[in-house]
Amino acid sequence: MLQDITYKTIKKNEIQNEYRTIVGDFLKKQNKVIGDLYIKADRCKLICIAYSEEQPVAMGAIKPKIASDFSKQKANLLDKASEFDWELGYIYTDDKFTKRGITRKITYILLKEYGSDNLMASTEINDNPGMVKILIENGFKHYGSLWKSHIHKNDLGLPWLACRKLKTLCLLVCSALQTLL
């Protein structure tokens, strides 16, 4: 099913107009990001694009965190904001290619390439259960309050993967023990 899908990871210093256009076009289709969509790629540390028959069909990125997501009016986690610089985001899959595991694979590739530093993600909690499931599968946990997006009015939440270095192992061991009990 995924045999025809290839993945390309682009680092910040490799971003060219071709990738700016792909990111901008996908963000336009997604309709959940504001500003000049065709310069958003330049902010990213990493971009992963999925291709089918050499045509881009999905993407995701490691981008700068949105600091206001930690504010009292949103997640209400001001004390945690300084622990995170980067965010998993800009996740988009063309409608013709959903339900094939592409977003899951993009998330895996980005997390593997990103390494062990702290990383956060905000996503629609109720309207995007697939992404919530992918985040949970990758160790993200929801913290803080929900808030309404000013763009699409859906509930957003702030899950993140905290202290990926040592705490991830501890969390996995604790989860395994809870399963056994």
For the stretch 34-62, what's the b/e string if a residue is b when 16 or more beta carbons lie within 10 angstroms of its beta carbon? eeebbebbeebbbbbbbebeeebbbbbbb
pLDDT at 24: 98
- Tokens in use for 13? 């210093």
C-alpha span between 44 and 12 (Å, rounded) = 6
pLDDT of the residue at 162? 43
Domains of the chain: 5-180 (3.40.630.30)
d(CA 163, CA 74): 22
3-state secondary structure of 142: strand
Q: In the prediction, which pLDDT does 141 show?
A: 84
75 secondary structure, DSSP code:
T
Cα dihedral sign for 29, 33, 35, 40? Answer: negative
Report the C-alpha gap between 170 and 34 in whole angstroms. Answer: 38
| Angle made by CA atoms 19, 20, 23, in degrees to the nearest 5 | 80
The span from the CA of 61 to the CA of 87, in Å, is: 8
pLDDT at residue 9 in the model: 98
Q: What is the pLDDT along the chain (181 residues), one digit of tens a residue?
A: 445 999 999 999 999 999 999 999 999 999 889 999 999 999 999 999 999 999 999 999 999 998 988 889 988 888 888 989 999 999 999 999 999 999 999 999 999 999 988 899 888 777 778 898 999 888 888 888 887 776 666 766 665 544 444 344 334 433 333 433 3
Comparing C-alpha atoms, which of 110, 159, 113 is closest to residue 135? 159
Q: Give the model's pLDDT for residue 155.
A: 66
